[in-house]
Amino acid sequence: MKTPTDEYDSPWKEIIETYFQECIEFFFPVAANDIDWSRGHTFLDKELQKIVRDAQLGPRYVDKLVKVWLKNGDEQWVLIHLEVQGNPEPNFEGRIYSYHSRLFLSYNCPIATFVILGDERPTWKPQEYRNEIWSCKISFQFPIVKLLDYNERWEELENSTNPFATVVMAHLKAKQTRKNVSQRRQWKLFITKRL
């Protein structure tokens, strides 16, 4: 049986795997500029599943773990943990911190955690995990992209040639037209022609 999350999950997985470079360029351009794309990238999804298997702390759309190389000349690779989160989740920040920590302990290399929020609650923008007791402090910050914020940048999306502009448009219109079949059909046609 198909769940509402499944409706969005599979397309996100496929588009990220097909256009990973464009995804990072669109949502996280600072990181994209530091990556040596000529060396390729490697998806480590099976490794990610092993690491977080016992930490299933809530539903989400997509988790990706990707090995990339930096273009600063060093023989250093970095892991990117990319998460697309579909709904607000209690203790989301704690789960992201837990995954980040487990990845670092397993690989002992730099880990970049990026989050794309695809939920419909404008004020939910988790970006930091904090924990403190007796002057012992943990503070972990991670960049997020809130897809709802792109509603205000629609013209920018229409003018972009990056495939993720179209992905964001499709995501936003799928959410907005969930209960209006006629409008949904019109937007599907518009977005399909755009492709």
Q: Where are the domains of the chain?
A: 4-149
Cβ neighbours of 3 (radius 10 Å): 9
What is the C-alpha separation between 37 and 180, in angstroms, rounded?
A: 41
Distance of alpha carbon 58 from alpha carbon 139, whole angstroms: 21
Give the contacts of 153 (CB within 8 A, at least 6 positions apart): none
Share of the chain above pLDDT 70, in %: 87
Could you tell me which residues come within 8 angstroms of residue 149 by beta carbon, excluding any fewer than 6 positions away? Answer: none
- Asked whether the predicted pLDDT for residue 191 surpasses 60, the reply is yes
Please determine, for residue 179, whether its predicted confidence score (pLDDT) is greater than 70.
Answer: yes
Q: Which two tokens stand for residue 172?
A: 């936003």
Report pLDDT for 121: 92
Nearest-angstrom CA–CA distance, 65 and 45: 6
> What is the pLDDT confidence band of residue 52, given thresholds at 50, 70 and 90?
low
Which H or E run includes 60?
A: none
- Tens digits of per-residue pLDDT, 106-122? 888 888 999 999 888 99
Kindly tell me if the per-residue pLDDT of 76 is higher than 80.
no
Task: Find out whether 64 and 85 touch, Cβ atoms under 8 Å.
Answer: no
Amino acid at 59: P
Asked if residue 168 has pLDDT above 60, the reply is yes
Q: Where does the pLDDT of residue 123 fall: very low under 50, low under 70, confident under 90, or very high at 90 and above?
A: very high
Q: What is the pTM of this model?
A: 0.82
What average pLDDT does the segment 100-110 reach? 86
